[in-house]
Amino acid sequence: MSQLINGVFVTGTDTDCGKTLIAGGIARALLKKGHNVGVMKPIATWGDPFREPGMKRKWVSEDALHLRLCAATSDALDLINPVCFKAAMAPWPAARLEKKNIDVERVMMAYRELCRRHDYIVVEGVGGLMVPIKREFFVLDLIGRMHLPVVVVAHPALGTLNHTLLTVAMLKHKGIPLAGVIINNFQGKTRAEKSNPTVLRKILDRRVIVVPHQPRFLSNYDALAHHLVKEGLLRWPHLP
């Protein structure tokens, strides 16, 4: 991969692993360090009706609203979240359900505008790498278009070694740089969960950040940002 943009793409090993929480925490950490940071949720599903001045009523992702609050940006939701569907499905079947077609170039135009406005951008994907955006266009392909390194967010429990290593292997196969791995919602209740961070660190030969189960992180953006920085986020490659 060439021509890396100054930013990261946050993907997950699965759905509901906490990508939005982590992407918001990264954005907040950069904001607190004085960076002009932008955020983006290019394609989302499971949206809610939302209205703000200058835009028509449409479906908007709660993830996009969360990211905008974390980054304290005034960018329009049309830029942050240009595509959103109501149904909680992968983008391609959700688009088919609504009889719509996802315009990838529209997404890229919004992305380029956000890159123009900000020094660093945090982009949150939808699901994992192989979630279909179109029949033959996946989240992995969108990352390639954006020329971004990747932060992988993983579940903490049994099975995460396989899911995480498969995700990292696919990134390596496509020549996409890995910034690091964040194990989210860690509680350490089982032997597998307790050992997973150590095993991943040894296999990947890089730092793996563990974010403990803390309900306050959902609303206390500064607390999560502080934890990520304390654990070494800004010492990772591709982070400013």
Residues forming the active site: 41
Tokens for 91, please give them: 């983008």
Buried b (16+ CB within 10 A) or exposed e, 198-235: eebeeebeeebbbbeeeeebeeebeebbebbbeeebee
Neighbours of 122 (CB within 10 A): 29
CA-CA distance, 215 to 26, in Å (whole number)? 17
Q: What phi and psi values does residue 92 have, to the nearest 5 degrees?
A: -65, -50
Residue 79 CA to residue 38 CA, distance in Å, equals 10
Q: 83: closest CA among 120, 136, 125?
A: 125
Report whether 23 contacts 10 (CB < 8 A). Answer: yes
